[in-house]
Amino acid sequence: MSTSIKFGTDGWRAVMAREFTFDNVALVAQAIANYVKAQGHAERGIVVGYDARLLSDLFAETVADVLTANGIPALVTERDTPTPVTVYMVRARGLAGAVMLTASHNPPHYNGIKFIPEQCHPALPETTDAIEEQIAYCQKHPESVRRDGNPALKQKVDPRPDYFAHLHQLLDTRALSTLKVVFDPLYATGRGYVDGFLCEVGAQVETIKGERNPAFGGSLPDPNPQNLQLLSERVRATGAHLGLATDGDADRFGVVDADGEMVTANQVIVLTLWYLLRKHHPTSGHAVRTVATTHQLDALARSYGNITVHETPVGFKWVGSTMARTGALVGGEESGGLSIVGHIPEKDGILADLLMAEMVAREGITLKQALAQVAQQTGEYHTRRIDLHVEEHAKRELLRRFREEPPAHLNGLHVAGVNSIDGVKLLLENDAWVLVRPSGTEPLIRCYIEAHDEPTLLGLTSAVRELVEGA
C-alpha cells in the first residue's frame, strides 16, 4: 500500500491504478470510519457520492463496504452526483458527514476521495489531521481495514429531489421560467442539475456536452474560457440570455454573458452580493472572501454602509466556516467557489449559475450591464493572476523578503501595508494590491494583482514579475 497518502481539505487525489487503487481507497475509508466512530456519530450514517470519472462508482461501493463493515450506515447515490448535492444530503438527513469520490477539475486519469463533516463546509485542519493520523495507523496495521460490507446498512439514494426542493425555496422560479439558457456540464457530473432545474421551472434550455464521458472529451472538466468556447458560440447563435457551466464535480461555476463573453469568478461573487442586497434589503450583514479575491466586494459593502467583509486564507474551508459563524450573505473565492445565506456553507456551482440566471431575469439586464451598475458604486476593478516558476528552495526566502523587506513602492504606488494571512499581500495606495503565494504542489509562485485600471494592472504585473524572477 502507498505510504504517500496526504489527506488535506480536498482529500487525497492521485493517479488511478498507480496510487489511487481499491486497496488504498479502502484504507482511507477505514481511516474515515475510525474518525467518525471516535466522534460518536457512527449511527447517524454517511452519504457516499461520486463523480463521472471511470470507476468512481466502484470506488464509492468500496467506501460503502468499509463503512458498513464498521457499523456505519452508508447512503450511496444512485448515479454520479455533484459534490454540493451530496453534501446537502448531510443537512437534509442529519447525517454524520459525506464522502465524495472526485478529482474535481483534474485530468481524467486522476481520482480523489474527501470527507465533508456534519457542518457541511470543507473539513478544517483538526479534522483532516485526525484522519491523516488514522491513515498512518491503517498503513501500519493493514489488517485493521475491514471490507466485508454489511448489505443491511447500505442503501441507494437519489439526492436530487431534496436538493431541488431546497432550490425552490432559495430561488425565484417564476423569474427563471422566462429565460433562454445554454448549459455546459463539460461531460461531467453537473449534467441534469442546472439544466434539469431550469427545465423543471419552465425555462428554455439547450444542453451541450451533456452526456457522461469519463475522458471529458479529451480536455479537463474546468470551466475556463478555452473550454467554454463552444458554450460562447451557442449563446451567441441562439440568442440566449446567458450561458452556464459547471466543473467536474459541479462545485465550481462558469458564466457567459449574452454576447458570449465570459464573466470572471470575481465578478460573479460581486454581482451575487449586489443582487442579494437589492433583493433582500438587509439592515446589516456579512460577506466573506479569501485573501486572493477582489476588493471590489469590500468597496460594494462600503457603498451600502452596513455590510462587514471578512477576509480568510485561500480555501473554501475558511470561507465556509466563517459563513457558518457569521451567517454571511455571500462567501466566495476567486477560483470559482461561492455560496449564500440559507444554503450549505460549501461551494456550489449549480446554485451560483442559477443565481446569475435569476439576477438576469429579475433585473432585466445583461451581466455586463449589471457590472456597469456596480462599477458606478465602486469604481472599476481589474484583476489578473500569473504563475511564475520558482524552485522549491527559493520559495521560502522569496516570501520572507516580501514579508520582512517589502519594497517602499511598486510601479510608483506606495506600499501602505503587508498582509501575511496567507502568502504575502502588499497593500498599495488607491486600493491596489499584490499577493504572492507559493504553490503547494509545483515549483511555482502564484501572483494575484488588482488595480482600478488596466494600465496600472499591467504595470504592477511587470513589476511583480521582475521582483519575483529577480529574487
CATH assignment at residue 412: 3.30.310.50
Do 271 and 339 sit in the same domain of this protein?
Answer: yes
Domain enclosing residue 181, as ranges: 177-261
- pLDDT for residue 351: 98
- pLDDT for residue 437: 93
> Model confidence over 234-249: pLDDT tens digits?
999 999 999 999 999 9
Q: How far is it, in rounded angstroms, from Cα 163 to Cα 27? A: 31
Q: Give me the phi and psi of 6, to 5 degrees please.
A: -110, 125
Q: How far is it, in rounded angstroms, from Cα 145 to Cα 79? A: 26
Using alpha carbons, select from 168, 242, 232 the residue that is nearest to residue 201: 168
Q: What per-residue string of b and e applies to 423-457 under the rule 16 or more CB within 10 Å gives b?
A: bbbbbbeebbbbbbbbeeeeebbbbbbbbbeeebb
Using CA of residue 338, residue 343, residue 344, residue 348, what is the dihedral sign?
A: negative
Percent of the chain with pLDDT over 90: 91
Do 143 and 189 sit in the same domain of this protein?
Answer: no
Q: Is residue 165 part of a domain?
A: no
Q: Of 128, 158, 188, which residue sits at a domain end?
A: 158
Do 109 and 23 sit in the same domain of this protein?
Answer: yes
Number of domains composing the chain? 4
Do 18 and 153 sit in the same domain of this protein?
Answer: yes
Contact 235, 210 (CB under 8 A): no
Do 339 and 389 sit in the same domain of this protein?
Answer: no
- pLDDT for residue 395: 87
Contact 448, 434 (CB under 8 A): yes
Q: Is residue 5 part of a domain?
A: no
- pLDDT for residue 425: 97
CB-CB neighbours of 36 under 10 Å:
25
Q: Is residue 279 part of a domain?
A: yes
Q: Of 240, 261, 282, which residue sits at a domain end?
A: 261
What angle, 0 to 180 degrees and rounded to 10, lies between the N-to-C axes of helices 22-39 and 56-69? 40
Q: Is residue 462 part of a domain?
A: yes
Q: How far is it, in rounded angstroms, from Cα 368 to Cα 305? A: 24
- pLDDT for residue 2: 46
Instruction: Note the helical H segments in 305-423.
Output: 316-326, 349-363, 367-378, 392-404
- pLDDT for residue 6: 84
Interval 273-279 mean pLDDT = 96
Q: What per-residue string of b and e applies to 266-284 under the rule 16 or more CB within 10 Å gives b?
A: bbbbbbbbbbbbeeeeeee
CB-CB neighbours of 365 under 10 Å:
15
Do 74 and 203 sit in the same domain of this protein?
Answer: no
Distance of CA 207 to the CA centre of its chain: 22
Do 235 and 275 sit in the same domain of this protein?
Answer: no
Q: Is residue 40 part of a domain?
A: yes
pTM of the model: 0.96
> Model confidence over 424-449: pLDDT tens digits?
999 999 999 999 999 877 888 999 99
Q: Is residue 4 part of a domain?
A: no
Q: How far is it, in rounded angstroms, from Cα 437 to Cα 445? A: 6
> Model confidence over 52-107: pLDDT tens digits?
999 999 999 999 999 999 999 999 999 999 999 999 999 999 999 999 999 998 99
Specify the pairing of strand 330-333 against strand 382-389. Answer: unpaired
Q: Is residue 274 part of a domain?
A: yes
Do 389 and 310 sit in the same domain of this protein?
Answer: no
Q: Give me the phi and psi of 191, to 5 degrees please.
A: -65, 135
Do 210 and 335 sit in the same domain of this protein?
Answer: no
67: left (phi over 0), alpha (psi -120 to 50) or beta: alpha
Q: Give me the phi and psi of 214, to 5 degrees please.
A: -60, -20
Do 327 and 373 sit in the same domain of this protein?
Answer: yes
Do 82 and 207 sit in the same domain of this protein?
Answer: no
Q: Is residue 283 part of a domain?
A: yes
Given a cut of 70, whether residue 159 has pLDDT beyond it is: yes
CATH assignment at residue 153: 3.40.120.10
Given a cut of 50, whether residue 297 has pLDDT beyond it is: yes
Q: What is the mean pLDDT of the chain?
A: 95
Do 147 and 100 sit in the same domain of this protein?
Answer: yes
Q: Of 339, 357, 378, which residue sits at a domain end?
A: 378
